[in-house]
Structure 1
Amino acid sequence: MELNGDILGYLWQRLPLLLLFGGGYLVYQIMAVTRLTDAFVCWALRKSGGRPALLLLYVIGTAAALSSFIPNAITVLTMLPLLKRLDNTFRENGGRGMTTVLMCAAIYGAAIGGFGSMIGSPANAILFGALDLFEVAGREQITFFNWFLWSLPLAAMLVLVAWGVAAGLGLPASARGKAVHLECLTGGGGTTGRQRYAGTLFWVYMGFWILEAVAQEAIPGFALLAPWVCVAFTVLFLFFVFIRRAPTSPAGIGPLLRPIDLLSSLPRRGFIFLLGLAVLIGLAQWLGMDKRLAVLAHETLQSDMPGLALFFLLVLAVIFLTEVLSNTTVVAAFYPIAYYAAQGHGMDPLPLMVGISLASTCAFMTPVATPTSALAFGEMRGASLRIMLGLGVVLNLAAAVLITGWLAWILPRVY
């Protein structure tokens, strides 16, 4: 009975976090069914004026913005038809060789957006499970709002670095200085009533969770009321999504979503890996393996190694391993390693484990790194694997340096 009470108490305490991720999934679904993402992509890419270098910046930035709230694969699926049209337009204007760099720009942005918000990647959900399982100090201070305080500057810096790599190293000479007309970008000539309604619900969702996070820090005792407040908001949000008929909907269409829509793209693998991680950690503690792993990590990673070097090596290892393995597989293996390595070196494990989560989304190099990369490489016919690998290696190394330096400096100040 006491164990059941502990589990229920934990779930009640973490209910706001669970509702946050659940609401994020609903937001993704309503953006997908109303095709609001298509309209946003067309509007954003037109801002480039058709200039190749600037267009790459808008592709990366747009993909990063979208994938902060919707799955990476959906982001790239939304952008691929437009990128193929742009590629054909460049070819017709003599700017050959844009296929690979356009594809890479979309992949880079989609990967970077994975850590732009708390709900941007399944690895972030697994991160919170791992922080709770290891009872890492400071985990309760992470909120939807203060995640943005350090993630948005980091994402912006990495977008600029990715742009520098794509435009500086990947943009072909034949395309430089050639502006193209963007009549090929169709679908962004205005939003429908359903799209505006979906956009309103998106901003309501964002506004509530930002205010909830601020209230947690500013109002004494609000933490006790937070689960009730979040449940009330979620019920109201569900009403507007599933029951209230969207404005200007034709007869018979009704609400934005139907319950059956929730079954598509359900992140089952994330739940499975989180459960597997809990089982592994429990087994390791029962067998006393946690202490042995701590000693092994301490000896393997050298006791006299500077903490920043340890941080960098772990982040770099995760980035390159995700080029050939599933990112959820890699983080499930590396969260315990990061925790025990931090203990062995007298470091705070929180920044290190957050760094593992972020690094697992930075798969920039190979077409097999993620389903998103495979999808983009398969669809963009004529893309060069050699160029993709070369640009990806440079960006992987730059990302490892940037993530390490930024998190090691900023996270102790935020949390």
Structure 2
Amino acid sequence: MMSTEVRVPTLGESVTEATVATWFKKPGDAVAVDEMLCELETDKVTVEVPSPAAGTLSEIVAQEGETVGVDALLAQIAEGDAPAKTAPQEPKDARAEESIDQDRPKGETPQEEVQTDAGSADVRPRDPQDAPSAKKRMAEAGLSSDEVKGTGKDGRVMKEDVLKALSEPKKAEAPKQAPRAPVAAEDADREERVKMTRLRQTIARRLKEAQNTAAMLTTYNEVDMSAVMGLRSEYKDLFEKKHKVKLGFMSFFTKACCHALKEVPDVNAEIDGTDVVYKNYVHMGIAVGTPTGLVVPVVKNADTMSFAEIEKTIAELGVKARDGKLSMADMQGGTFTISNGGVYGSLMSSPILNPPQSGILGMHKIQERPMVVNGEIVIRPMMYLALSYDHRIVDGKGAVTFLVRVKEALEDPRRLLMDL
């Protein structure tokens, strides 16, 4: 009987590992071609792994909660109708399950619980029996199994692995987080400790890396939204009737940014070692908040799109983000990002760069304020704009010029038509 390997698929650009979140099948189950076997959780999206052949799932190699690399072996499928003999599964503790159900907050689904647990650092694969010689050598050297990468069967640590680990130069340890301050006993009972999901851990790591790597600086301006709001109010019904999509503010901001990026290409570039890579296209990232964390789907070639095409693409990506259906292709290749904190009521903030991009524009709440226009005080709908940029590649003059061009295009949208 032939056996087919199930391996980790290509996870996408810059993604090298994933966590096995959920197995939909157990050893001994019959599977059909393209039937979903398991779900992998990466730092960007969730990836489903289909069965490459019909037969019986004979062995699961990577257990739930285990971290796996690209092309790593996940399972074995015995082709044909005969079920494979498997070791009996350990019975689940019914009382534990009942306790989990009682403790689960209202509205939380079992699937959400599985995804949270999958990102837990406490979830470990089965512990293989290391070679006795390796155990002795690790004890002498003061090493633990976690510090040595095993190359034996099922990750078993061999003596050669220990010698290799000892010969490699030790990496500088990252500064440890200060221990948590003691909590009063009466407060401890009212606290709840929840493991960070893999997505949340990656968001935290990448945002901190952006602060540590880029020479990040933010410049601010404000824009009078009267013209955009008037144009939108005048044409929104006709626009929706013709294009079957609502006319929002994001298409105006996307168009304005694309227009400004042509004049200040440094904001649309990235640093690669000692080189600067200039992009002669705009893949616009649109930051979207979801229940599981912040994601940034990308509107590809936004500089060549019409208002209707931009609105339709943003609407489609928004639905995917809300339903957790974004693919790796939807998340890759962004050259610049727009973050709209105004939908949550933010009046002003400094957005953090989305590496390796060199610029991100923060939109904020539209608020009526008294403004002086032609010597008279008038009430205008105003919005603060914030551009965070990498000062290693973008000079202050370029950053301010970019933001002024965005402001000009929004205060007089006709400039977009005239390419001014």
Same fold (TM over 0.5): no
Report which structure shows greater RCO (CA 8 Å, sep ≥6). Answer: 1
- Relative to its length, the structure with more strand (as a share) is 2
**Superposition TM-score tier, normalisation by shorter sequence:** under 0.3
Normalising by the residue count of structure 1, what TM-score does the alignment of the two structures yield? 0.23
Structure of higher CA gyration radius: 2
